[in-house]
Amino acid sequence: MVFDAKTLTYDERGLIPVITQDHLSGEILMFAWMNAEAVARTLETGAVTYWSRSRQAFWIKGETSGHVQELVEMRVDCDRDCLLVLAKQTGPACHTNRRSCFYTAIRDGVEVEIMAPEN
Amino acid sequence: MVFDAKTLTYDERGLIPVITQDHLSGEILMFAWMNAEAVARTLETGAVTYWSRSRQAFWIKGETSGHVQELVEMRVDCDRDCLLVLAKQTGPACHTNRRSCFYTAIRDGVEVEIMAPEN
């Protein structure tokens, strides 16, 4: 079946959640949102493009920082209401300069930082 | 810092998105939601417990099917508005009996099923 971004299920804001994973290591890099146009642009350009809820604008990841994400593969879940993006990440994915946004673990009831910012 | 589920950022429904990943293979198993009480119950019991939006009830994963998720580690993202759950999955995670809910890939503009249901 030919994929059409319009056939996905979006929330009341017109957004779908996106999990971004390093295509080689399997590490979860970040979590963000796309609208139908961002999904289409990501597939067309190969540059992972989110919808920024705070700026209410398209967000080509790394456009400013250079920490771009090159699309390797997009996957859709069973309910068609979540996307998994496998990407080739240049530099850190997190705005804190860490490889991943998920750098805080909960261990024995305590928050532990498990990843340092990159230089 | 001692972790308190109330310090996370929840949406207007009181929910936070949760990515669940196989703790060994790194495979993304599913995507669902928790409220603060589900986060606390998951940490207390070690049985991954979501909030079902359709049933408006706590959803102890696998309680009916036996396809339980044993919590290995919970992680919080930089914005404290998304959780990553590393879990030990018994049986398939998806209600379609597939290992993962993300069994549809988009390749050359076409939807391709990349994972078969388990027996």
Of B3, B21, B30, the CB nearest to A111: B3
Report the percent of chain A where pLDDT is more than 90.
99
Which A positions 48-107 lie with beta carbon below 8 A of chain B? Answer: 73-79, 82, 84, 94-96, 98, 101-107
Q: How many CB atoms lie within 10 A of CB A83?
A: 24
Q: Which chain A residues are within 8 Å of B79, Cβ to Cβ?
A: 101
Q: Which CATH architecture has domain A14-113?
A: Roll (3.10)
pLDDT digits (tens, 9 = 90+) for A34-87: 999 999 999 999 999 999 999 999 999 999 999 999 999 999 999 999 999 999
**Inter-CA distances, A113 with A52, A107, B30, B43, Å:** 26, 10, 25, 18
Inter-chain residue contact B78 with A101, CB threshold 8 Å:
yes
Across the strands, what pairs with B2? A110
Chain B, nearest residue to A24 by Cα: B26
What residue ranges do the domains of chain B occupy?
Answer: 14-113
In this structure, which amino acid lies at residue A109?
A: G
**Inter-CA distances, B97 with A42, A116, B119, Å:** 30, 38, 8
Q: Is the distance from CB of B74 to CB of B20 less than 8 angstroms?
A: no
pLDDT tens for chain B, residues 1 to 119: 999 999 999 999 999 999 999 999 999 999 999 999 999 999 999 999 999 999 999 999 999 999 999 999 999 999 999 999 999 999 999 999 999 999 999 999 999 999 999 97
Give residue B119's pLDDT: 76
